[in-house]
Amino acid sequence: MKRILLSLPHMGGREQIYVSEAFASNWMSTVGPNITAFEREFENRIGLPSVALSSGTAAIHLGLRLLGVGPGDEVFCPTLTFAASCNPVRYLGAEPVFLDSDYVTWNLDPNILEDALRERAQRGKLPRALVVVDLYGQCADLDSILAICRSYEVPALEDAAEALGATYRKRPAGTFGELGVFSFNGNKIITTTGGGMLASRNAAWVEKARFWSQQARDPGIAYEHSELGYNYRMSNVLAGIGRGQLEVLDLRVQQRRAIAFRYREAFAGLPGISLMPQAPYGLHTNWLSCFLIDEDEFGCSRDELIRSLDAANIESRPVWKPMHLQLLYAGCQCYGGEVAEDLFRRGICLPSSSSLSLEDQLYVINQVRFGAGAGPLMALEAEPVAIG
């Protein structure tokens, strides 16, 4: 029996044309026309200079280095995120300090940020930077967060790895901080199998990141190095996949949102299950369809639901385990943390692939309904009633 997975790659069709061009012309390295074109097309989409890299994690690493993060520094980061948001802080010899989320967005709580910065300012040690994350396809409350950062002169890197295609007050996710990061990992809304992008209004920073990503080889004919570099550039073959994927990004956003709202409609009569909130200030891509389970009302716990879905060959996952609960980050300070812990305890991510058929969505829905002790639905509307 086939297994329904959480979030799968979904090709649009034209990727192969660009990849074939790379093969036909032997541009099979980290230079070539697809990379140049992918960066240009991505820049046209988000409106900022961008550099294509081997992963979103690499982009965060380079972005934090551009912000001057180094040994002895602290970097603020929401605790409710994937480890890649803060691991690069450690790569640079600095330490993360974690901050709680709010229930309205599941993202960094601006009030906690303000309290934490005020306290740090009083102690005379401000963080070198903030990593602000746009979780599961929804932007954090960026106006509030960045206004607070500006008042303390703390720069922000926006980790929009999960939020390509989302908007905040009609502007694209990833364009708000001093630097923005995107991921094309295989589970993301569009993919290059693995890859990332770093963007900034500061074109010189983007150029510097491009230089570092190619081993920081100084100009000239010899192999001379005056700065430490990395092998972080995207390949021309994968950039070809990215070009095809970018052409279907809006369709993928629509498809992922439709799944989330179809689930929401199908669970409307069930007590104790609610879709991740959709903040009024922007477009949430619902990269993953995340729900909160209230065990007493729903009839079983989040973990029991995951196990029963697993037995029915459906992959589902808990919401990210907060960073302050990770062994790796034991000892790091966390401001608050109770909201993130609660979201982690009750949150579930359901299958969200844009290629998920109506039939498979109905199967997932009925297995969730079964977990709640409710009867099956017989059919689904092709279009959910509300996707706004």
Ligand X SMILES: Cc1ncc(COP(=O)(O)O)c(C=O)c1O
Per the DSSP assignment, residues forming a β-bridge with 108 are 101
Nearer to ligand X among residue 82 and residue 263 (C-beta): 82
Nearer to ligand X among residue 182 and residue 298 (C-beta): 182
Q: How far is the CB of 108 from ligand X (least distance, A)?
A: 12
85 lines the binding site for ligand X (CB under 6 A): yes
- C-alpha distances (whole Å) from 36 to each of 18, 27, 30, 185, 235 are 12, 12, 10, 20, 11
Q: Out of 30, 34, 105, 185, which residue is the one contacting ligand X (CB under 6 A)?
A: 185
In contact, 369 and 375? CB cutoff 8 Å: yes
158 lines the binding site for ligand X (CB under 6 A): no
Instruction: Compute how many other C-beta atoms are within 10 angstroms of the C-beta atom of residue 92.
Output: 18
What residues numbered 42-71 form the site for ligand X, per CB under 6 A? 55-57
105 lines the binding site for ligand X (CB under 6 A): no
Nearer to ligand X among residue 82 and residue 298 (C-beta): 82
In contact, 272 and 290? CB cutoff 8 Å: no
Nearer to ligand X among residue 188 and residue 264 (C-beta): 188
Q: How far is the CB of 64 from ligand X (least distance, A)?
A: 12
Both structure tokens of 306: 């995951």
In contact, 264 and 245? CB cutoff 8 Å: no
The whole-angstrom distance between residue 366's C-alpha and the CA centroid of its chain comes to 28
For the window 159-178, what string marks contact with ligand X as x by the rule CB under 6 A? x-xx----------------
Q: Out of 30, 50, 79, 81, which residue is the one contacting ligand X (CB under 6 A)?
A: 81
288 lines the binding site for ligand X (CB under 6 A): no
Both structure tokens of 167: 């908007």
Report the SS3 class of residue 237.
helix
* Region of 155-163, 197-205, 269-277, 323-331 interacting with ligand X (CB under 6 A): 155-163
In contact, 10 and 189? CB cutoff 8 Å: no
Q: How far is the CB of 162 from ligand X (least distance, A)?
A: 5
If you count them, how many residues does the chain have? 388
183 lines the binding site for ligand X (CB under 6 A): yes
Residues 6 or more apart whose Cβ sits within 8 Å of residue 220: none
Give the β-pairing of 167-168 and 282-283. antiparallel
> What is the Cα Rg of the chain in Å?
21
Q: How far is the CB of 29 from ligand X (least distance, A)?
A: 20
Q: How far is the CB of 111 from ligand X (least distance, A)?
A: 22
367 lines the binding site for ligand X (CB under 6 A): no
The residue assigned the tokens 């569009």 is 190
DSSP E strands: which ranges in 110-160?
129-133, 156-159
Per the DSSP assignment, residues forming a β-bridge with 233 are 53
* Region of 26-34, 77-85, 211-219, 249-257 interacting with ligand X (CB under 6 A): 77-85
Q: How far is the CB of 183 from ligand X (least distance, A)?
A: 3
Q: How far is the CB of 187 from ligand X (least distance, A)?
A: 7
Total residues contacting ligand X (rule CB under 6 A)? 14
- Angle formed by the axes of helices 33-46 and 236-247, to 10°? 40
Nearer to ligand X among residue 57 and residue 361 (C-beta): 57
* Region of 78-86, 88-96, 274-282, 295-303 interacting with ligand X (CB under 6 A): 78-86
82 lines the binding site for ligand X (CB under 6 A): yes
Q: How far is the CB of 81 from ligand X (least distance, A)?
A: 5
Q: How far is the CB of 189 from ligand X (least distance, A)?
A: 11
> Residue 174: what residue type?
G
Residues 6 or more apart whose Cβ sits within 8 Å of residue 337: 79, 98, 100, 322, 324
238-272 residues labelled b (16+ CB within 10 A) or e (exposed): bbbbbbbbbbbbeebbebbbbbbbbbbbbbeebeb
Q: Out of 86, 133, 309, 368, which residue is the one contacting ligand X (CB under 6 A)?
A: 133
Q: Which residue is nearest to ligand X (CB)?
A: 56
Give the β-pairing of 179-183 and 156-159. parallel
84 lines the binding site for ligand X (CB under 6 A): yes
User: Interface with ligand X by CB under 6 A: which residues?
Assistant: 55-57, 81-82, 84-85, 133, 159, 161-162, 183, 185, 196
